[in-house]
Structure 1
Amino acid sequence: METSNKKRWLAGGLALIVFLLSLFTGESKVKDFNEANVYEEARQRFMGAEDEVLYGSNPNQRIMVLDVDGMIAKDDANDFLAEKLDEVLDDATISAVILHVNSPGGSVYASERIAKKVEKIQEKNIPVYSVMQEVAASGGYYISAPCDKIYASNETFTGSIGVIMQSYSLEGLFEEHGIKEQNVTTGKMKDAGTFGRDMNKEEKEYLQALVDSAFGRFVKVVADGRDMSESEVRKLADGRIYDGSQAVENGLVDEIGDLDDAVADISEKYELTDPVVFEKNEFASAFAKYLPYFKSNTDNPKSDLQILKELMESEKNKPMYLYGGYYE
């Protein structure tokens, strides 16, 4: 384990070098660094996705623990998670998988991608458990719902079953700066939800239908995974969150417990003898999440026009399985 930690620190140090280069030498140096494949080669060698053994002695019966931490998005972390879940299908030593979830949710696509991987593993008669940490809401619950068993803490925030499509109207700000949006489209709904003006009633109804469609799929995933009727799920699915004890009472969570409890339950139920419990994680991906934050805090205060530009370039106007009270 000491060697593994050393490699992770090396990977983290390398990521920090890339970050400092981006701050003080401009993007061109970082581009040269990446084109030389130095960062990628070091990431693969020093960090890779090595097994970090938590405990256990039987290498023929292993339980893989995968962290789902932070926003669920179509990014490197999501690719890594999908890749590791695919590897389970080809590894005869893996007897079970535990998703260690600490996420407010996120992308509809990325959440569904992970849920589908879980179902494929279960088709091979390999159990998948979810162990919720501080928060496993919306998309964090979506990927947990198909699991064979769900554990949570009494203080876990979970649920938030629903869909949100975040949008802004910058019509007033446009007017203040003398900006007028002029879109040329092939149909009246082509620019529905644009930032430059308020949505009309017809546009809201159109986008609401998209949100409702995604919501229907969310309800079905929960109903199938929790052995509930869709009407039962809809009673719980007004977007509100529940703490762990409430979620046990309403059927969204099976038991109050942690990772060790889940391992003990799997070992007993599936007759495993001191299985090796190991974790797969990608240190550089987790470290990289913080780089935009560090960089943003070195910038000068933003003007109204800079804020306007960032809002227009942000990824909005798409359905999200995201806890509405979460702010990154």
Structure 2
Amino acid sequence: MNKKRWIALVVAVGLFLASIGFQFLTSLATADYETMFNFQDPEDNFGEKVIEKGSGTNKIAVLHLNGVIQDTTPSTLINTNSYNHERFLDMLEKAGEDNRVDGIILRVNTPGGGVVESAEIHDKIVEIQEQYKKPIYVSMGNTAASGGYYIAAPADKIVAHNATLTGSIGVIMESFNFAEFADEHGIDFNTIKSGEYKDIMSMSRKMTDDEREILQTIIDDMYAEFVQVIVDGRGLSEDRVRELGDGRVYTGAQAQEVKLVDELGSLDDTIEMMREDHELENAQVIEYERGLNFNQWLGGTVQSMLGSETDLVGIKDLLRENNAPRAMYLYSQ
């Protein structure tokens, strides 16, 4: 490489580094410094953000559930904004324990997720209703399907948008099968196992009838639990729930017609319904938030610099964390 090419290379690298530095400084200049330097220990309690002022001491807490319900923690610096299961359960617990909170609204926007995680949220909702006698309303966003409906079922009132996709009542378990592809390309799989069914749902061979029957009994048991949750929460008969729960999705309007939801409206409408239903006209409406710890702030800065390319990191993490078949209350297209 001659001298001129070296100079051009050095200039190009310098311009690239200058561009990165400029974007970083721009992020600093446009940041909310009050939040930016409010670094908190991750174990600290949630702060409160007032979204509607009130004249009384009562509060309505709005909790947002966005994304696939799964008990996974973001494993990279960049992926800091995905659903955090433990954090959501902590928010529910805080809203239940806080004597100043007289009503809770869950803003649900999820296609569902894990069976266990959905059950944990459902059980926490029921616990709060029974122990603290607080009304819990659900406001459905774009999607509140499968596990999203599972957690909504025990709510005192379910409000959906006319175009919300909900329902998808059921359980699904899927895996890939590469046996035919492997045969065509001369790929051998070597499996050493301790029992006949240890490699059930293996990707390297066709599933046997016995294995399918075993897994179907598991799915049937989980589906029966889902049905019972709706029977208990919505007051519908088991036969009716099974009729509605064939896996299909409903719009909000359709769901209201079959009594899977109570009302149609937005989050603001849901807040007004709670105010009127429980004499909370003067209540503040708050959301929980955490001050950023340093990793979250730095991750958010890097994310803003890299833009949509960070989505690839999230997808990579999701694939790595879900490389084994599992039963899901999940609506997927």
TM bucket normalised to smaller = 0.7 to 0.9
Q: Within 5 A, what are the aligned runs for 1:161-200?
A: 161-200=169-208
Say which of 287, 290, 294 aligns to 2:309.
294
Asked if the contact 1:142–1:218 (Cα under 8 Å) also holds between the matched residues in 2, the reply is yes
For 2:254, the equivalent position in structure 1 comes to: 246
For 1:79, the equivalent position in structure 2 comes to: 86
For 2:11, the equivalent position in structure 1 comes to: none
Q: Please report how far the alpha carbon of residue 52 of structure 1 lies from its aligned counterpart in structure 2 after TM superposition.
A: 1.4
Instruction: State how far apart, in whole Å, the 2-side matches of 1:312 and 1:85 are.
Output: 29
Asked if the contact 2:56–2:282 (Cα under 8 Å) also holds between the matched residues in 1, the reply is no
Q: Within 5 A, what are the aligned runs for 1:42-57?
A: 42=39, 44=41, 49-57=46-54
Residues 259/296 of structure 1: CA separation in 2 closer, same or farther (3 Å cut): closer
**Is 1:273 aligned to 2:288, yes or no?**
no
For 2:17, the equivalent position in structure 1 comes to: none
Instruction: State how far apart, in whole Å, the 1-side matches of 2:95 and 2:195 are.
Output: 46
Asked if the contact 1:133–1:153 (Cα under 8 Å) also holds between the matched residues in 2, the reply is yes
For 1:139, the equivalent position in structure 2 comes to: 147
Say which of 96, 110, 121 aligns to 1:89.
96
Q: Which amino acid aligns with 2:137?
A: Y
Say which of 135, 147, 159 aligns to 1:151.
159
Q: Within 5 A, what are the aligned runs for 1:1-328?
A: 6=32, 10=36, 42=39, 44=41, 49-58=46-55, 60-76=57-73, 77-123=84-130, 124-281=132-289, 284=296, 294-295=309-310, 297=312, 314-325=322-333
TM-score norm. by structure 2 comes to 0.76
Q: Please report how far the alpha carbon of residue 48 of structure 1 lies from its aligned counterpart in structure 2 after TM superposition.
A: 7.2
Instruction: State how far apart, in whole Å, the 2-side matches of 1:202 and 1:170 are.
Output: 20
Q: Which amino acid aligns with 1:10?
A: M
Q: Please report how far the alpha carbon of residue 44 of structure 1 lies from its aligned counterpart in structure 2 after TM superposition.
A: 3.8
Residues 143/216 of structure 1: CA separation in 2 closer, same or farther (3 Å cut): same
Q: Please report how far the alpha carbon of residue 182 of structure 1 lies from its aligned counterpart in structure 2 after TM superposition.
A: 2.5
Q: Please report how far the alpha carbon of residue 321 of structure 1 lies from its aligned counterpart in structure 2 after TM superposition.
A: 0.3
Residues 258/115 of structure 1: CA separation in 2 closer, same or farther (3 Å cut): same
Instruction: State how far apart, in whole Å, the 1-side matches of 2:95 and 2:311 are.
Output: 38
Instruction: State how far apart, in whole Å, the 2-side matches of 1:10 and 1:168 are.
Output: 44
Between the two proteins, the alignment pairs up a number of residues equal to: 280
The secondary structure found in structure 1 opposite 2:152 is coil
Q: Please report how far the alpha carbon of residue 202 of structure 1 lies from its aligned counterpart in structure 2 after TM superposition.
A: 1.1
TM-score norm. by structure 1 comes to 0.77
The secondary structure found in structure 2 opposite 1:166 is coil
Instruction: State how far apart, in whole Å, the 2-side matches of 1:292 and 1:239 are.
Output: 36
The secondary structure found in structure 1 opposite 2:163 is coil
Q: Which moved more, 1:58-67 or 1:195-204?
A: 58-67
Residues 322/265 of structure 1: CA separation in 2 closer, same or farther (3 Å cut): same
Residues 89/115 of structure 1: CA separation in 2 closer, same or farther (3 Å cut): same
The secondary structure found in structure 2 opposite 1:233 is helix
Q: Radius of gyration: which is bigger?
A: 2
Instruction: State how far apart, in whole Å, the 1-side matches of 2:103 and 2:206 are.
Output: 50
Runs of at least 5 residues in structure 2 that lack an aligned partner in the other structure? 1-30, 74-83
Instruction: Work out which structure has the larger RCO, using CA pairs closer than 8 Å and 6 or more positions apart in sequence.
Output: 2
Q: Which moved more, 1:47-56 or 1:117-126?
A: 47-56
For 1:18, the equivalent position in structure 2 comes to: none
Q: Please report how far the alpha carbon of residue 268 of structure 1 lies from its aligned counterpart in structure 2 after TM superposition.
A: 1.6
The secondary structure found in structure 1 opposite 2:329 is strand
